[in-house]
Structure 1
Amino acid sequence: MVEIFVTDVTNESSAKHVLKELHTIFKDYSANFDLEDCDRILRVESSSAICHRSIIELLEKMQVNAAIYQEQQYK
């Protein structure tokens, strides 16, 4: 499973902090950022279902805005 999020993370330091928290709480998830993309994409992979709501709630607690990437919005 793969879930893609649009975020407002703008720098490598913040991205590393977010990834550390994600990997601590969601041990089965593999995540990375593409900060060069205009939407500052967070990509999360897992062999099982991904709880996007829990990820967004964690990011909000970290004062990071995030939403599920919906391709049809960007066409």
Structure 2
Amino acid sequence: MIEVYSTNITKKKHAKSVLETLRTEFPEYMISLDLSDCDKILRVENPQGTVDKETVKNLVNNLGFDIAELEDVPLFADLQDSFNT
């Protein structure tokens, strides 16, 4: 499962700290942070099941940063199907 979050992390040194903390807590997760994106996207994937969303959010918040879960956006094909029904 993959979860995607927006954050207010803007500096590389802060990103490194957040990533280290999350990777220590969840060594099996694949985690990345895109500082070039306007939403400073944190992507968390657990290839073995669901992501522990509450712990991820708490860890990031405890480091002093805001984090918000991004809603799923339907693909264009899904939108097209909804217009045809």
- TM-score higher than 0.5: yes
Q: What stretches of structure 1 of length at least 5 have no aligned partner?
A: none
Q: CA deviation at 1:71?
A: 4.5
Aligned to 1:18: 18
Shift in CA distance, 38/71, structure 1 to aligned 2, threshold 3 Å = farther
Q: CA RMSD in A?
A: 1.1
Say yes or no: does 1:30 pair with 2:30: yes
Larger radius of gyration: 2
Shift in CA distance, 49/71, structure 1 to aligned 2, threshold 3 Å = closer
Q: Deviations over 1:19-53 (max 9, x none)?
A: 00000011111101111110000001111110111
Aligned to 2:63: 62
Q: With structure 1 as the length reference, what TM-score do the two structures score?
A: 0.89
Distance 1:37 1:5 in 2: 12
Q: What stretches of structure 2 of length at least 5 have no aligned partner?
A: 74-85
Distance 2:65 2:31 in 1: 15
State the number of aligned residues.
72
Q: With structure 2 as the length reference, what TM-score do the two structures score?
A: 0.79
